[in-house]
Chain A
Amino acid sequence: MSIVVENLNYIYMPKTPYEKHAIKNISFEIKTGEFFGIIGHTGSGKSTLAQHFNALIKPTSGKIIIDGMDITAKKADLKLLRNKVGMVFQYPENQLFEETLEKDVAYGPKNLQFSPEKIKAVVERSLNLVGLPYEEFKNRSPFDLSGGQKRRAAIAGVIAMEPEILILDEPTAGLDPSGKREIMELVLSLKSECTPTIIMISHDMEEIARYADRVMVLNDGEIKFILPPRELFAKKEELNSLGLDVPPITELAYALGKKGFIFPKTVINDNEFISAILPQLKGGKK
């Protein structure tokens, strides 16, 4: 289930005063089983790009080939595509509408014309997977849930369609730290249990550093970098000039490095930081 993007261009509202060249001739590839992060500041084209993978937006020019299928072709099979690629939008809880959770999660599978038995099975599995036990929650109204539960319910609605690629647009936006951790743990368990390929847009560099295999940096519709997190966050100055930060722990290591501490490689998580700094503190000199 690889995704190949070739010379993709998207112009928003062409030939009006609001015209904007949102995506400028970009090409790249996402491999099967990869956790692919997309970062960039507001208006850099991240969300626009993500919506192309699901053919919710048709490109102005260029091609996207998912698993050998050209989804930008005129007669692309959208039903098949939406079965393959699941999309969790920003604030996905806004898409809940049914009276009960069971019905809401069943909406996608029903649209894909799964059989009634299969629908029941996927709904049960999805609700259990996102941590809303089926028996307890199936008859609850989605509007009675807490913020974090609503978001997980919405994610259940997407994974119930059994996609092989999951796109998440800022899945942790607006949540408190424990809610964020829960959602990210959920995403990881989804990766290992049902959707092997994950594309995640995020503003949280710590999340990106911890989970992504490779990260794409978009700036003004153009690709600046596609690198593994460690190599990417070594480029602190370049990222800063694009209006992006490195994770806080990397920032700290960088500041301490200026004061004479030695970090053999770019630090991107707490454990690396601790194991690098501890031996240097024991001497008690610095």
Chain B
Amino acid sequence: MKDITFGQYYPVDSIIHKLDPRLKIILCIAYVVLIFLVKNFEGFVLIFLFLAGVIILSKVALRSILNSLKGLLFLILFTFILNLFFHNSAEDTPLLYWQPFADASFFISGFYVLITKEGLIFAIRMLLRLTFLMIGTSLLTLTTTPVELSDGIESLLSPLKIFKFSPHTLALIMSIALSFIPTLMNDTERIMKAQKARGANLDTGSLLKRAKALIPVLIPLFVSALTRASELTDAMNARCYNGDKGRTKMKVFKLKFKDFVAFFIMVAIFLIILLWTNHLTLIVF
């Protein structure tokens, strides 16, 4: 269970860790947009170099970053394979065409496998995009504590207050959800061990069998999650929680000089990548 370190905060002291979380969130969004604007391979090389730079600056062990990729490896490969076989049109250059049952008289004679050059390029592009997307976004969560993250989001969404939307509530929900993840993981692990000690077999057998074997884990888990939730509600009520009315922050974000420097450097890098790789055809994409 503990192997699921997907985006778990990596506690070291680095420039990236110290940046203002709001800035990191904005840059992360810009980075995601950038990934989808870049179309050619020079662009991906540049993004790779950029990512490598940020990773070195952040002092996060490469192992943790790769671990966060592991969970989505299946999704990434699945996308790659689907794109490889199904992203093609009549004008494309075929690389491989295979119609194994052409002689058969019934419906499977129409079955064929076709890989085209365009499809292959598209599939590789999507593969790189998803990989860079995952690495980039997990860098945000690896270098920012969950509290900073939800406070940052709250602060960024505060303009929405004029539409009667409460960013505070959203941030609270988020931070409670995030802080419950480790607790629930521990609960899951403990209950799984307890049931294993009672002879439960959770790791082998058919899919249906394994799903059934999970019932003894899931029911106690739900019970404990609901108990914890209602205890938390009581604890908040007992301390007079009243939403964000008149509430002050313990930590107030202030942009510092280094945040501005980081912002301009990043924007410059993003613009260079965009302009260089798209040759000013930005408007056409």
Interface string of A144-161 (1 = CB under 8 A from B): 000000000000011001
Q: Does A279 contact B (CB under 8 A)?
A: no
B191 CB contact (under 8 Å) in A82, A94, A107, A143: A94
What is the distance, in angstroms, from B192's C-beta to the closest C-beta of chain A? 9
Is the Cβ of A17 less than 8 Å from the Cβ of B10?
Answer: yes
Residues of B within 8 A of A161 (CB): 198-199
A15 to B62, CA, bound (A): 11
With a cutoff of 8 Å between Cβ atoms, the chain B residues found around residue A157 in the complex are 198
State whether the Cβ of A13 lies closer than 8 Å to any Cβ in chain B: yes
The CA of A155 and the CA of B233, in the complex, are separated in Å by: 31
Q: Which of A84-92, A201-209, A262-270 contacts B (4 or more CB under 8 A)?
A: A84-92
Partner of B198, one of A13, A17, A51, A108: A108
Q: Which of A58-91 contact B (CB under 8 A)?
A: 79, 82-83, 86-87, 89
A56 in the interface (beta carbon within 8 A): yes
Q: How far is the CA of A13 from the CA of B61 in the complex (A)?
A: 14
Known contacts being A15-B63, A108-B199, A112-B199, is A97 close to B220, with CB within 8 Å? Answer: yes
Q: Which residues of B contact A280 (CB under 8 A)?
A: none
Report whether B215 and A97 are in contact in the complex, using a CB–CB cutoff of 8 Å. Answer: yes
B197 contacts A by Cβ under 8 Å: yes
Instruction: Report the contact-size class of chain B (Cβ under 8 Å from the partner).
Output: 20 to 34
| A158 (CB) vs chain B CBs: closest residue | B198
Known: A94-B191, A97-B215. A111 touches B220 (CB 8 A): no
Partner of A95, one of B61, B63, B198: B198
Residue in A13, A87, A111, A158 whose CB lies within 8 Å of B2: A13
Residue of A nearest to B11 (CB): A17
- Cβ of B40 < 8 Å from any Cβ of A? no
CA distance A51 to B193 in the complex (A): 9
Assess whether A111 is in contact with B200, with CB atoms less than 8 Å apart: yes
Known A-B contacts A82-B197, A161-B199; A107 and B5 likewise in contact (beta carbons under 8 Å): no
Does residue A96 face the partner (Cβ distance < 8 Å to B)?
Answer: yes
Q: Are A89 and B220 in contact (CB under 8 A)?
A: no
Whether, in the assembled complex, B88 has its beta carbon less than 8 Å from a beta carbon of chain A, the answer is no
Q: Are B197 and A111 in contact (CB under 8 A)?
A: no
Contacting residue for B199 out of A15, A89, A95, A111, CB 8 A: A111
A-B contact pairs, 7 of them (CB 8 A): A13-B2, A17-B11, A56-B197, A94-B190, A94-B191, A95-B216, A107-B198
